Structure 1
Amino acid sequence: MAPSPRSPVALAFGGLFALAAAMGIGRFVYTPILPFMGDALRLPADDAGLIASANFVGYLAGALMGASRSLPGSPRFWFLGGLMTSALTSAAMAMTTALAAFLAIRFLSGIASAFVLVFSTTLILERLAASGRAGLSAFHFAGVGCGIAFSALLVAIVAGISADWRFLWLASAAGTLVFLALAALLVPSEAPAAATQAKNAGAAVPVSPFSSGSRIRLILAYGLFGFGYVITATFVNAIARTTPELQPTEPFVWLTVGLCAAPSIYLWNWIAARLGARKAFALACVLESAGVALTAITLSPGLFLLGAGLLGGTFMGITALGLMEARRETCADGSSAIRQMLAVLTASFGLGQVIGPWFAGQLHHATGSFSAASLAAAASLLVAAALAFR
C-alpha cells in the first residue's frame, strides 16, 4: 500500500532529511573524518584528493544517469535507493584500508548522492509548486547544512570517546539510516493521477539545456562554483589540523560551516526576491570567494572561522539558487525537461568538483600547502559571479 499523502510542510521536511543524509553526511562527512584517516593511515594529501575526486566522479556519473529520460521507476524509488546506498557505502569505508577500495566505495557513494539530490529535488519542488507552497523549498535545501552540522557534532562526539576513524564511518552510516527512515515516512509515493500527469508533462517536445545563452552561462557558472567551493570544503579541517596557529579551530571549523549553511537558504531567498536570482547568485559567489581566500591566507583563528562561515553561509545558497533558476528556465517545457536541466546543471557542478580535489592534491604535493589551490578556487568563483551577473 502506498503511503498516505502528506502536507507540503511534511514533504519539505522529508526533503530536508533526505539531503541531510545523502549530502550533509554521505557526501561531506569525509571532510571531518579525513584528518583522523590521515593520521592513522598516513594518507598523503594527493591520495586524499584522489579519494575526494572519486566521490565527485561518481556524483558526475549519477547526475548524467539522472538526466536519462528512459530511466525506469519513480523519483521516490531512486532517491530512497540512493539513501540506502549512501548508508551502505559509509559503512563499507570502515571495512578496508586499501586506496583502490576507498576510490570504488566513494565513487558509488557519489552516484547515490547525485540520485538523491536530482530525484528528491525534482519530486519535492514539483509537489511544493503544485500546492502553492514553493517557498518551503528552503526547508528542503537546508538539509545539507543541517547534515553537515550533524556530521560535525557526530564526529566530535564519537572521536571524543577515543573511537578510531572506522567507528566514525560506522556512526555516519547509522545516522544516514535514521534520516532514511524519516524521509521514507514523510515523502509518500505519487498518486496514480499525479504520476500520469507528470508522465504526460514529461512527454512534451524535448528542449535542450543548451538551447539558450542564458542556460549555457548558468551551466558554466555552476561548474566553476563546484570547483571554487570544493577545495576548501574538502580540506578545511586538514588545513586547520596541519597549521599550528589554526589547530584550536579544528573542533569548530566544520560545525561553523554547517551552522552557517542551514539557515542560509532563507537569507538568499530573501536576497533573490529583491535582486533577482542571477544577481543573488553572483553576490553569493563573490562572498564565497572572499571566504575561500581567507582560509588560504590567514593564520588568525578568528579570521579562519570567518572564512569557514562565509563558505557555509553561501555554498548552499548558490546551490539552491542555481537549481531553482534552472527549474524556472525550463518549467514551461515539461517535467522531463526540468529533470534533464537539473541533471545537466548537477553534472557541470560535479565536473568542477572532480577537478578541484585532484588539482589541490597535486599542488599540495608540489608546494606543501593548499594556499595556491585555494586562491585559484577563489578566482574561479569570481568568474562564476561574472557569468551569472551577465
Structure 2
Amino acid sequence: MPDTAASRPVPTALGGLLALAAAMGIGRFVYTPILPYMAEGVPLDPAAAGLIASANFFGYLVGALAASVGTLPGGRRRWLLGALLLSAATTAGMGAAGGMSAFLLLRFLGGVASAFVLVFSSAIVLDRVAAAGRPGLSALHFSGVGGGIALTAVLVAALAAAGVDWRGQWYASGAATLACLLAATLLVPATPDTAAGSGADGHRSKAPLSAPLLRLIVAYGLYGFGYVITATFISVIVRTSSDLRPVEPYVWLAVGLSAAPSILAWNRVAARIGAAQAFAFACVLEALGVGLSVIEAGIANILLAAVLLGGTFVGIAALGLVEARRQATGDPRRVLAVMTASFGLGQMVGPWLAGLGAELTGSFVLPSLAAAVALLVASALVLVPARTAP
C-alpha cells in the first residue's frame, strides 16, 4: 500500500493533536486540578504531592531515553498507539490506587507513556506535514496539549460540582484518554514505517551534536524546571488562599485556553524574529508569570499568571522541538528524544524541590522565584547560538 500520509496532512495533525491532548494534556496535567481534592481526601502534604509529580516526570525522563533507542522493534505508529493505551490505563488506575507506592508506580508509568507519545507523535506529524509542504500544521499538533489542559479544567470542575471525589475524577480522565486514543487510531495513518529506529538516514542519526544544539538542550532542561512548579502547584496555591479559592476552576481553565492557540501565535513570532529569539522572549514572559503567581495574592495577578503560563509553556516546548528537528541530521527521533530527556530531568527535579521548599518555608514563594531565575537563564543560553551561529 503506498504511503498516502503526505496527501492527508490535516487528519494526521488532528490525530497528533488528540494524542497530545490525551497523554500530555490529560495524562500528565490532570494531576494539577485533581491535586487539591487528593490533598484533602487522601490526604497528601506538599512534600508527598511533589514526590508523586516527580515520579511522573522521572517516568517521562526514562521514557524519553527509551524512545531514543535505535533498535526498537515495530513502527512508530504502533509505539504511539500502545503508549496511548498505557496512558489511559495508568490514568484510570490512579482512581483505584490505595497508597503512596501505587501512586508513585502509576504516575511513573504514565510518564513513560507520555514521553513515548510526544516523541513518536511529533516524529510522525512533523515528518508528514513537512512532506506535504504544510509545516504550519505543526501548530495544530502541539495545540493538543493546551486543548487537553482546558478539557481537564472543565471535566474536573464539573465532576467536583456534581460531588464526584478524586477517585471518580481519575476514572473519568482515563475514559477521556481512551476516547482520544480511539479517535487518534482512525486519524493517524498507517504508514510503511519499519523499525521505530529505522529510516533512510538512520546511519547518520548518531552524528555529534553541534554547540548551538547542545545549548538548546540545556536551555530546554532549565525551561522544564522553570515551568513545572507553577504548572503542578498553581491549583494548590489558589486553594490555600481564601481570597483566591473562588476562582480555582477558572485559573486552570485560563492556562488551557491560553495554551491552545499559543502555538500559532509563537510560530508567527518566530517567523518574524527567529525561533531562538522567540524561545528566549517566551521564557522571559513565563518567568514573569511564575513570579506573579506567588509575589502578591490577588485575583487579577493569579489570572494573569495563568495566562502567561499557558500562553508560553506549550509554545516554548514546540519552538524547542521544531528548532531541534531543524538542526538535526538524519533521523530526528534521536534529537527529539534527547530534548525530551533534558526537559524531563528539569521537570522531575522541580516538583520535588518545590514540595520540600514549601514544607520548610510554608509557601511556594522561594521555589517559584528559583524557577523564574531558571527561565531567565534558559533565555540567555538560547540567545548565544542565535547571535553567533552562521
Q: Under a length normalisation based on structure 1, what TM-score does the superposition of the two structures give?
A: 0.95
Q: Specify the alignment match of 2:387 in structure 1.
A: none
**More off after superposition, 117-126 vs 2-11:** 2-11
Provide structure 2 residue ranges, at least 5 long, that are not aligned to the other structure: 385-390
Check whether the contact 1:2–1:189 (CA below 8 A) recurs between aligned residues: no
Map residues 123-142 of structure 1 onto 2, 5 A cutoff: 123-142=124-143
The whole-number CA distance in structure 2 between the counterparts of 1:171 and 1:38 is 19
The whole-number CA distance in structure 2 between the counterparts of 1:153 and 1:206 is 42
The whole-number CA distance in structure 1 between the counterparts of 2:240 and 2:264 is 34
Q: Are 1:320 and 2:318 counterparts?
A: yes
The whole-number CA distance in structure 2 between the counterparts of 1:14 and 1:308 is 27
Q: Secondary structure at the match of 2:358?
A: helix
| Paired AA for residue 352 in structure 1 | G
The Cα of 1:4 is off from its aligned counterpart by 7.4
Check whether the contact 1:2–1:188 (CA below 8 A) recurs between aligned residues: no
Q: Are 1:233 and 2:231 counterparts?
A: yes
Check whether the contact 1:363–1:372 (CA below 8 A) recurs between aligned residues: yes
| Paired AA for residue 207 in structure 1 | K
Q: Which of the residues 379, 382, 385 maps onto 1:385? A: 379
Map residues 159-178 of structure 1 onto 2, 5 A cutoff: 159-178=160-179
Check whether the contact 2:282–2:316 (CA below 8 A) recurs between aligned residues: yes
Q: Specify the alignment match of 1:43 in structure 2.
A: 44
Cα deviation code 1:248-299 (max 9, x no counterpart): 2211111000000000001100000011000000000000000000001121
Q: Specify the alignment match of 1:349 in structure 2.
A: 343
The Cα of 1:91 is off from its aligned counterpart by 1.1
The Cα of 1:389 is off from its aligned counterpart by 1.1
Q: Are 1:256 and 2:257 counterparts?
A: no
Q: Specify the alignment match of 1:180 in structure 2.
A: 181
**More off after superposition, 272-281 vs 1-10:** 1-10
The Cα of 1:202 is off from its aligned counterpart by 3.4
Q: Are 1:340 and 2:334 counterparts?
A: yes
Q: Specify the alignment match of 1:71 in structure 2.
A: 72
The whole-number CA distance in structure 2 between the counterparts of 1:261 and 1:128 is 21
Q: Which of the residues 354, 359, 362 maps onto 1:360? A: 354
* Residue-pair matches, total: 383
The whole-number CA distance in structure 1 between the counterparts of 2:37 and 2:2 is 43
Q: Specify the alignment match of 1:152 in structure 2.
A: 153
The whole-number CA distance in structure 1 between the counterparts of 2:271 and 2:349 is 33
Q: Which of the residues 366, 370, 373 maps onto 1:376? A: 370
Q: Specify the alignment match of 1:52 in structure 2.
A: 53
User: How large is the Cα RMSD of the aligned pairs?
Assistant: 1.7
The Cα of 1:30 is off from its aligned counterpart by 0.2
Map residues 193-342 of structure 1 onto 2, 5 A cutoff: 199-208=198-207, 211-330=209-328, 333-335=329-331, 338-342=332-336
| Paired AA for residue 59 in structure 2 | G
The whole-number CA distance in structure 1 between the counterparts of 2:107 and 2:280 is 31
**More off after superposition, 53-62 vs 127-136:** 127-136
The whole-number CA distance in structure 2 between the counterparts of 1:3 and 1:63 is 27
Q: Specify the alignment match of 2:388 in structure 1.
A: none
The whole-number CA distance in structure 1 between the counterparts of 2:186 and 2:358 is 45
Q: Secondary structure at the match of 1:245?
A: coil
The whole-number CA distance in structure 2 between the counterparts of 1:53 and 1:382 is 23
| Paired AA for residue 375 in structure 2 | L
| Paired AA for residue 330 in structure 2 | G
| Paired AA for residue 231 in structure 2 | A
Provide structure 1 residue ranges, at least 5 long, that are not aligned to the other structure: none
The Cα of 1:72 is off from its aligned counterpart by 1.0
Which segments of structure 1 move beyond 3 Å, counting only runs of 4 or more?
Answer: 1-6
The whole-number CA distance in structure 2 between the counterparts of 1:183 and 1:2 is 20
The Cα of 1:211 is off from its aligned counterpart by 2.5
Check whether the contact 1:61–1:111 (CA below 8 A) recurs between aligned residues: yes
The alignment-based identity, stated in percent, is 57
Map residues 15-26 of structure 1 onto 2, 5 A cutoff: 15-26=16-27
| Paired AA for residue 272 in structure 1 | A
Check whether the contact 1:63–1:111 (CA below 8 A) recurs between aligned residues: yes
The Cα of 1:161 is off from its aligned counterpart by 0.6
Check whether the contact 2:205–2:334 (CA below 8 A) recurs between aligned residues: no
Check whether the contact 1:19–1:144 (CA below 8 A) recurs between aligned residues: yes
